[in-house]
Amino acid sequence: MVFKDFAFKIGYCFYGIVIGKFYKQLHPDQFGMKRAIADRSILDKFCTDFCSVVDRHAKYIIVSGFLAIASGRTRGTEDIDIIVEKLNKQKFIGMHNDLVKRGFICMQSDNPEEIYDNYLSQKASVRYTYKNEPIPEMELKLAKDELDLYQIKTRVKIPLTGLEVWFSSINMNVAFKEEYLKSDKDMEDARHLRIVYAEQISEDKIKSIKQMIKKLRL
Amino acid sequence: MRDKTHMEQVERWALYVKSHPDWKKKHTRFIDSLYEKAGSFIHALAKQKNGKDKIIKLYGIKNVKGYKKLLG
């Protein structure tokens, strides 16, 4: 009888745990989870999923428009730009296969050797998407010069974005947008970043990065 | 060149982001709606005559078999 009572109590506890877990899934807001889930946009999730795979193989940075969007700019984009440190073919093949295993597909080809030889080694970019979904895209290129390497070396995580991915620095992005890209959209992105991250903006750093851009890219 | 009211709106919204910790909720709804709209349009386009070819052209898809469910 004592054993029967004990078994009943154990069973009841187990039942309680299972029911609790279901309740937690159905009512995440009461467990502090709602904000984290609701605050991640389709673009945030795509970027985080992709970067978590790349991170296992190489250093990378997210640059340009997505930093502005992740920092609150209200505009659309079809692609996120990622620069990955220089990889040899073998390492790239490993990374590509891992991306495919995680549900990504390269728009240019299924063959990683072809992607490396015909695109990446020629300093051209390739685009990855979720399988069967042409948007959003991740535009991937390998670091091509001193400036890209410098951007990777000075990469940062930016808490305001709420994303666990590596970005090139705020000053770097502002300098590129104002000195190199210069479209209306880019100038607006730069203005947005200058206001949102006013405390991190360094005119001296921006000036010296602009000089590097003039020397290496213009 | 866009007119100056455009940049003024950019500045107004940037100040909102800076001063309102709940900006991301509004922003997420905005971004998601763009993708939901574009996504449903792509799926509708795929069902039209020549729609699949148009999608291939629009996005420059070379690896068509990677999008078999949409384009197959």
Its ipTM equals: 0.86
- Helix H or strand E segment including A117: helix A112-118
pLDDT by residue for chain A (218 residues), tens only, comes to 555 665 656 555 455 554 444 444 433 333 333 334 458 999 999 999 999 999 999 999 999 999 999 999 999 998 999 999 999 999 999 999 999 999 999 999 999 999 999 999 999 999 999 999 999 999 999 999 999 999 999 999 999 999 999 999 999 999 999 999 999 999 999 999 999 999 999 999 999 999 999 999 88
Task: Quote the pTM value.
Answer: 0.83
Which pair of structure tokens corresponds to residue A164? 């666990």
Q: Is A155 helix (H, G, I), strand (E, B) or coil?
A: coil
Which pair of structure tokens corresponds to residue A160? 């305001």
Instruction: Write the pLDDT tens digit of every residue in B20-66.
Output: 999 999 999 999 999 999 999 999 999 999 999 999 999 999 999 99
Name the residue in chain B with its Cα closest to that of A114: B63
Q: If you write DSSP's letter for every residue of B5-64 in order, what string do you get? A: HHHHHHHHHHHHHHH-TTHHHHHHHHHHHHHHHHHHHHHHHHTSTTHHHHHHHHHT---G
A72 and chain B in contact, CB less than 8 A: yes
CB contact under 8 A, B66 and A71: no
CB contact under 8 A, B15 and A74: no
- φ and ψ at B7, to 5 degrees? -65, -35
